[in-house]
Structure 1
Amino acid sequence: MPTPSPLLRALHDPGPRTLPDEAAALLRTLDAPPRLAAHLRLVHDVAYELVERLAVRYPELQLDREAVLFGAATHDVGKTAHVSELSGPGSAHEEAGRELLLAHGITPDRARFAATHAAWTRPDIELEDLLVSVADKIWKNKRVPELEDLVIRRLAEASGRTVWEEFLALDDTLTALGEGAEERLAFQAAYPL
């Protein structure tokens, strides 16, 4: 039996949840770098945990869970066109990713996450976009107070609880999710660029 390619291993090796089928198929079509596939699995996995915890605390919250999960699973897809941004800084992958998703038949409301995951200060940003941004930070236990404050305000508006109560709850959630960062970083590093 032949050894699976590094990309297939990154998509299916034991560890974080696998990506939605549509996202995994797109990465195979694009012959995505294995490290990118591993990264997208990790961010998707954290996003999954985050929306599950939010669903328990905020059963009344109007949240498009599937959009968050798809956004997390594809947010960096533009790095298939801007490979240098896999190991270095850059933002060219953001709009390129949105365009790439649109070109592959993904609807604009789902393709947007590729462009918005780093643009969370825009005034028209939705809670779903903010949650993808948070997952893209917390997978490696990076805390961004300004981003978290935006999420906290949205959650306080939805729940009717005070900002302070929501701060405490979100802080506990993100602290717990951040605790697996070392294992996640090791998982990602195991796959080639």
Structure 2
Amino acid sequence: MPTLHQALTEGSPRRLPAEAEELLTDLHAPPRLAAHLRAVHDVACELLTWLTEHHPSLTVDQEAVRYGAATHDIGKVLHPNELSGPGSDHEPAGHTLLLSRGVPPHLARFAGTHGSWTADGITLEDLLVSLADKVWKAKRVPDLEQRVTDHLATAGGQEPWEVYLALDDELNRIAESADARLAFQSSYPTTP
């Protein structure tokens, strides 16, 4: 049976930041959670690369996006039923868990914001983590994509339709690999 260590180190998605790997190991996280976090983190890194190439003057806290994607579902350690079923109890639980482990609030927030991109005070970084959490499995969410588009168009002084077309191309490219990411995640058990 695949182990947590294998889920954190083997396969093609890039590895998580060392702090996230250590946290998941300390918490005895289910291997499937680690595989999911790697898949979303990998997509977030792809989005950041795209942003750097297409919006070079845009200031984005890339470290926060990478860490947020790597830990956004950490609350599922406390709510393992949400690994294979619906639920949002993991969101506030994950935020609280990260804070209790000494994670700074600006990094812990993603555990609570990744499912609520319409809330007040949501930043581009929050939106990017939410977007990565959807498109990794080829799920497209028009409202979320429009919010990202609006942020990018405003920041870059571009027409929203131009930004959307470029973003749409990138999301389609990322979505093409969704089956491989889903297979990677599914190959790991939901229990530690």
Output the TM-score relative to the length of structure 1: 0.97
Q: Which residue of 2 aligns with 1:169?
A: 166
Query: Paired residue for 2:120?
Result: 123
CA–CA distance in structure 2, aligned partners of residues 123 and 166 of structure 1: 23
User: How many equivalent pairs are there?
Assistant: 190
For residues 119-175 of structure 1, give each alpha carbon's deviation from its aligned partner in whole angstroms, at most 9, with x where no partner exists. Answer: 100121000000000000000000000000000000000111100001101100100
Within 5 Å, which residues of 2 pair with 1:105-120? 105-120=102-117
Where structure 1 has 5 or more consecutive residues not aligned to the other structure, the ranges are none
Q: Structure 2: where are the runs of 5+ without partners?
A: none
Letter in 1 for 2:20: A
Q: Distance in 2 between matches of 1:181 and 1:14?
A: 14
Q: Normalising by the residue count of structure 2, what TM-score does the alignment of the two structures yield?
A: 0.98
Residue pairs, 1:52-131, within 5 angstroms: 52-131=49-128
The answer on whether the counterparts of 2:11 and 2:184 sit within 8 Å (CA) in structure 1 is no
**Percent identity between the two aligned chains:** 58
- Separation (CA, whole Å) in 2 of partners of 1:135 and 1:51: 10
Partner of 1:148: 145
Take 1:6 and 1:169, find their aligned partners in 2: how far apart are those partners? 39
Contact 2:75 2:94 in 1 (8 A): yes
- Following superposition, the deviation at residue 15 of structure 1 comes to 1.1
Q: How does 1:14-33 map to 2 (within 5 A)?
A: 14-33=11-30
- Give the structure 2 partner of residue 190 of structure 1: 187
The Cα shift of 1:14 comes to: 2.4
For the residue of structure 1 that corresponds to 2:189, the secondary structure is coil
Q: CA deviation at 1:49?
A: 0.5
Runs (4+) of structure 1 exceeding 2 A deviation are: none
